[in-house]
Amino acid sequence: MKKLLKIVLVSSITLLFSSCYYDEFPEDIPVVIPPGQTVSFSEDITPIFVTYNCTECHNASGQNPDLTPGGEYSNLVPAYVNAGNSTDSRLYTKLAGGHRNVDATSLALIKKWIDDGAANN
Protein backbone atom coordinates (compact mmCIF):
# COMPACT_ATOMS: atom_id res chain seq x y z
CA MET A 1 0.00 0.00 0.00
CA LYS A 2 2.85 2.37 0.88
CA LYS A 3 4.48 1.56 -2.46
CA LEU A 4 1.31 2.46 -4.34
CA LEU A 5 1.14 5.78 -2.53
CA LYS A 6 4.72 6.51 -3.51
CA ILE A 7 4.01 5.71 -7.18
CA VAL A 8 0.95 7.99 -7.18
CA LEU A 9 2.91 10.77 -5.50
CA VAL A 10 5.89 10.56 -7.85
CA SER A 11 3.74 10.42 -10.97
CA SER A 12 1.58 13.35 -9.91
CA ILE A 13 4.65 15.47 -9.18
CA THR A 14 6.04 14.53 -12.61
CA LEU A 15 2.72 15.44 -14.23
CA LEU A 16 2.60 18.74 -12.38
CA PHE A 17 6.04 19.79 -13.59
CA SER A 18 5.60 18.58 -17.16
CA SER A 19 2.23 20.36 -17.47
CA CYS A 20 3.75 23.65 -16.29
CA TYR A 21 6.63 23.23 -18.70
CA TYR A 22 4.44 22.68 -21.76
CA ASP A 23 1.96 25.40 -20.80
CA GLU A 24 4.55 28.10 -20.62
CA PHE A 25 7.19 27.16 -23.12
CA PRO A 26 5.60 27.93 -26.55
CA GLU A 27 4.59 31.48 -25.58
CA ASP A 28 8.16 32.33 -24.68
CA ILE A 29 9.47 31.87 -28.24
CA PRO A 30 9.96 35.39 -29.63
CA VAL A 31 8.90 36.02 -33.20
CA VAL A 32 11.79 37.57 -35.07
CA ILE A 33 11.44 38.77 -38.65
CA PRO A 34 14.94 38.62 -40.19
CA PRO A 35 16.39 42.17 -40.35
CA GLY A 36 17.16 41.80 -44.07
CA GLN A 37 13.60 40.83 -44.96
CA THR A 38 11.50 43.53 -46.63
CA VAL A 39 7.95 43.56 -45.30
CA SER A 40 5.50 44.41 -48.08
CA PHE A 41 2.32 46.37 -47.40
CA SER A 42 0.37 44.63 -50.17
CA GLU A 43 1.75 41.12 -49.63
CA ASP A 44 2.26 40.96 -45.85
CA ILE A 45 0.13 43.63 -44.17
CA THR A 46 -3.20 43.86 -46.04
CA PRO A 47 -3.68 40.04 -45.92
CA ILE A 48 -3.70 40.37 -42.10
CA PHE A 49 -6.72 42.70 -42.40
CA VAL A 50 -8.43 40.07 -44.56
CA THR A 51 -7.58 37.16 -42.22
CA TYR A 52 -9.02 38.99 -39.22
CA ASN A 53 -12.05 40.41 -41.07
CA CYS A 54 -11.16 43.94 -40.00
CA THR A 55 -13.53 45.47 -42.60
CA GLU A 56 -16.47 43.87 -40.83
CA CYS A 57 -16.21 46.91 -38.52
CA HIS A 58 -13.59 49.14 -40.18
CA ASN A 59 -15.31 50.28 -43.37
CA ALA A 60 -16.50 53.53 -44.95
CA SER A 61 -19.65 53.71 -42.84
CA GLY A 62 -18.18 52.17 -39.69
CA GLN A 63 -15.21 52.54 -37.37
CA ASN A 64 -12.06 54.44 -38.31
CA PRO A 65 -9.62 53.55 -39.76
CA ASP A 66 -11.46 52.44 -42.91
CA LEU A 67 -9.60 49.29 -44.03
CA THR A 68 -11.60 48.62 -47.22
CA PRO A 69 -9.25 47.15 -49.89
CA GLY A 70 -7.68 49.85 -52.05
CA GLY A 71 -7.90 52.67 -49.55
CA GLU A 72 -6.11 51.11 -46.55
CA TYR A 73 -2.78 52.81 -47.08
CA SER A 74 -3.99 56.42 -47.29
CA ASN A 75 -6.42 55.81 -44.44
CA LEU A 76 -3.64 54.45 -42.20
CA VAL A 77 -0.66 56.65 -43.07
CA PRO A 78 -0.10 59.11 -41.45
CA ALA A 79 -3.24 59.14 -39.23
CA TYR A 80 -2.67 55.73 -37.60
CA VAL A 81 0.92 55.03 -38.60
CA ASN A 82 3.90 57.21 -37.70
CA ALA A 83 6.40 55.94 -40.29
CA GLY A 84 9.56 54.74 -38.56
CA ASN A 85 8.03 54.66 -35.09
CA SER A 86 5.80 51.65 -34.35
CA THR A 87 5.39 52.43 -30.64
CA ASP A 88 3.94 55.83 -31.61
CA SER A 89 1.57 54.26 -34.18
CA ARG A 90 -2.03 53.62 -33.20
CA LEU A 91 -2.29 50.70 -35.64
CA TYR A 92 0.50 48.87 -33.81
CA THR A 93 -0.24 49.89 -30.23
CA LYS A 94 -3.94 49.08 -30.60
CA LEU A 95 -3.28 45.58 -31.96
CA ALA A 96 -0.36 44.90 -29.61
CA GLY A 97 -2.72 45.77 -26.77
CA GLY A 98 -4.82 42.73 -27.66
CA HIS A 99 -7.41 44.19 -30.12
CA ARG A 100 -8.81 41.16 -32.04
CA ASN A 101 -6.13 38.78 -30.70
CA VAL A 102 -3.86 39.22 -33.70
CA ASP A 103 -1.14 36.53 -33.73
CA ALA A 104 2.47 37.30 -32.82
CA THR A 105 3.87 36.86 -36.33
CA SER A 106 1.38 39.33 -37.80
CA LEU A 107 2.17 41.82 -35.02
CA ALA A 108 5.90 41.45 -35.70
CA LEU A 109 5.31 42.05 -39.43
CA ILE A 110 3.28 45.22 -38.75
CA LYS A 111 5.93 46.44 -36.32
CA LYS A 112 8.79 45.88 -38.76
CA TRP A 113 6.86 47.40 -41.68
CA ILE A 114 6.27 50.60 -39.66
CA ASP A 115 9.80 50.77 -38.22
CA ASP A 116 11.25 50.28 -41.73
CA GLY A 117 9.40 53.40 -42.91
CA ALA A 118 5.84 52.19 -43.70
CA ALA A 119 6.33 52.14 -47.46
CA ASN A 120 3.40 51.63 -49.84
CA ASN A 121 5.20 48.60 -51.27
User: Which stretches of the chain bind ligand HEC, using CB under 6 A?
Assistant: 49, 52-54, 56-58, 63-65, 80, 90-91, 94-95, 99-100, 102
Report the residue number, 73 or 90, with the smaller CB distance to ligand HEC: 90
Dist. CA 111–CA 91, nearest whole Å: 9
Report the residue number, 33 or 58, with the smaller CB distance to ligand HEC: 58
From residue 59, how far is each of 14, 62, 103 by CA, in Å?
52, 5, 22
Residue 28 C-beta: closest distance to ligand HEC, Å: 24
Residue 55 C-beta: closest distance to ligand HEC, Å: 8
Report the residue number, 12 or 105, with the smaller CB distance to ligand HEC: 105
Dist. CA 41–CA 118, nearest whole Å: 8
What is the DSSP annotation of 59-107? STTSSSSP--TTTHHHHHTTTT--TT-GGG-HHHHHHHTTGGG--HHHH
Dist. CA 114–CA 90, nearest whole Å: 11
Report the residue number, 65 or 111, with the smaller CB distance to ligand HEC: 65
Residue 14 C-beta: closest distance to ligand HEC, Å: 41
Residue 43 C-beta: closest distance to ligand HEC, Å: 16
